[in-house]
Amino acid sequence: MRRPDVHPRTPRSTASSPRRMRRLRTTPSVRDLFAEIRGSPARLVYPVFLRPAAGRPEPIPSLPGLLRYGTDTVGALAKELVREGIPAVLLFGLPRRKEVDGHEAWAADSSVVRAIRSIRRAAPDLVIWTDVCLCSYTQHGHCGILRGKEIDNDATVERLGRISVAHARAGADFVAPSAMMDHQVAGIRAALDAAGFDATGIAAYAAKFASAFYGPFREAADSTPSFGDRRGYQLDPRNGREALQELELDAEEGADVLIVKPALPALDVIARARPEFPHPIAAYQVSGEYAMIRAAADRGWLEERAAVTETMHAIHRAGADLMITYFARDLARWSREGR
């Protein structure tokens, strides 16, 4: 029987065996030796925004410090990332033209497909994840096919399957469905297998909250819904148990990696999920989490390196194996620079 009133670290008897208070002599190397967590770029996934076509990298106003890459120049970036020790990218595409059904998303020459090809040529070992959603491809900015003002779940899942196959055919290692449709993982798994891509993995955005912290991303990906919001398909931030249920469903449907998003506002979900699933868990530190720290650091209110590093440790401590973060290149640089 558990005795919740007894703190496990309280010594039982202080009278007969008094504990001597002492501290080990610590140096930075001793602290490193015993640190539970070792920051390393080897656990980072870097999100990359693509321009609709070729062209030089251009700044993203809502994400200062980040660039949107042309489908030809992304190869050079890939080489740099490998040199920096960053093992993986997560690609976000933009179409040349937004359509009602967002069909450029599954085109054989979409920005994502062209980028995958140029990354594969430039950096064969970089692991490629691709975001699979419709929101940046549709005129209305919702994550699926609309029927009236409602999302048609099954029609959307069918399109997500087509997008995934297009990405897998170009050479993506993992597709990352982020539309939060029901049964999207099962649908995508079946589509990939039917097309002969059974070795392509699914990194499922399984627990994705309807978060205010996606604001800067929507500007970067031009994907703000033209009416309504995403609360019909994303999770209510008040519901932790429901988040665990979503993780469970995606695991059952065949997800290879479970993504929790956002990261700091959902540390409890990561920590509760950790002992329940053998899957790698990836935490997505989203655009608003990046923007908060960047903005405060720019004003001199926070020390950027210390603050970012602390968030990484917290996310890692909660149980995440991988961190998807816009700070990946900064973290790699800081780790090269040493303490």
Catalytically active residues are 208, 261
- d(CA 199, CA 1) in angstroms, rounded, equals 46
21 to each of 24, 35, 73, 134, 215, how far by Cα in Å? 10, 21, 59, 59, 49
**217 or 327: CB nearest ligand PBG:** 217
Q: Which of 71, 111, 138, 178 touches ligand PBG by CB under 6 A?
A: 178
Q: With binding defined as CB under 6 A, does residue 135 bind ligand PBG?
A: yes
- Here the contacts of 239-242 (C-beta below 8 Å, separation 24 or greater) are 240/268, 240/269, 240/272
**229 or 276: CB nearest ligand PBG:** 229
Cα-flanking dihedrals φ and ψ of residue 131, to 5°? -70, 130
- d(CA 49, CA 94) in angstroms, rounded, equals 8
Q: With binding defined as CB under 6 A, does residue 129 bind ligand PBG?
A: no
Total chain residues near ligand PBG (CB under 6 A): 11
Count of other CB atoms within 10 angstroms of residue 124: 10
Q: At what angle do helices 153-170 and 184-194 cross, to 10 degrees?
A: 40
**168 or 286: CB nearest ligand PBG:** 286
Q: With binding defined as CB under 6 A, does residue 105 bind ligand PBG?
A: no
Matching residue, tokens 């925004």: 49
Q: With binding defined as CB under 6 A, does residue 329 bind ligand PBG?
A: no
Q: With binding defined as CB under 6 A, does residue 132 bind ligand PBG?
A: no
**94 or 247: CB nearest ligand PBG:** 94
Q: Which of 66, 81, 143, 166 touches ligand PBG by CB under 6 A?
A: 143
- d(CA 204, CA 157) in angstroms, rounded, equals 13
275 to 314: interface string for ligand PBG, x by CB under 6 A: -----------xx---------------------------
Q: With binding defined as CB under 6 A, does residue 159 bind ligand PBG?
A: no
Among 259, 309, 329, which residue's Cα sits nearest to residue 48? 329
Q: Which residues of 76-115 are buried (b: 16+ CB within 10 A; e: fewer)?
A: bbbeebbebebbbbbbbbbbeebeebbbbbbbeebbbbbb
Pair of tokens at residue 165: 């196959």
Q: With binding defined as CB under 6 A, does residue 131 bind ligand PBG?
A: yes
212 to 251: interface string for ligand PBG, x by CB under 6 A: --x--xx-----------x---------------------
**46 or 214: CB nearest ligand PBG:** 214
**29 or 226: CB nearest ligand PBG:** 226
Shortest distance, position 33 Cβ to ligand PBG, whole Å: 35
- Region binding ligand PBG by CB under 6 A among candidate stretches 130-138, 184-192, 249-257, 327-335: 130-138
- Region binding ligand PBG by CB under 6 A among candidate stretches 80-88, 114-122, 127-135, 249-257: 127-135
The contact set with ligand PBG (CB under 6 A) reads 131, 133, 135, 143, 178, 214, 217-218, 230, 286-287
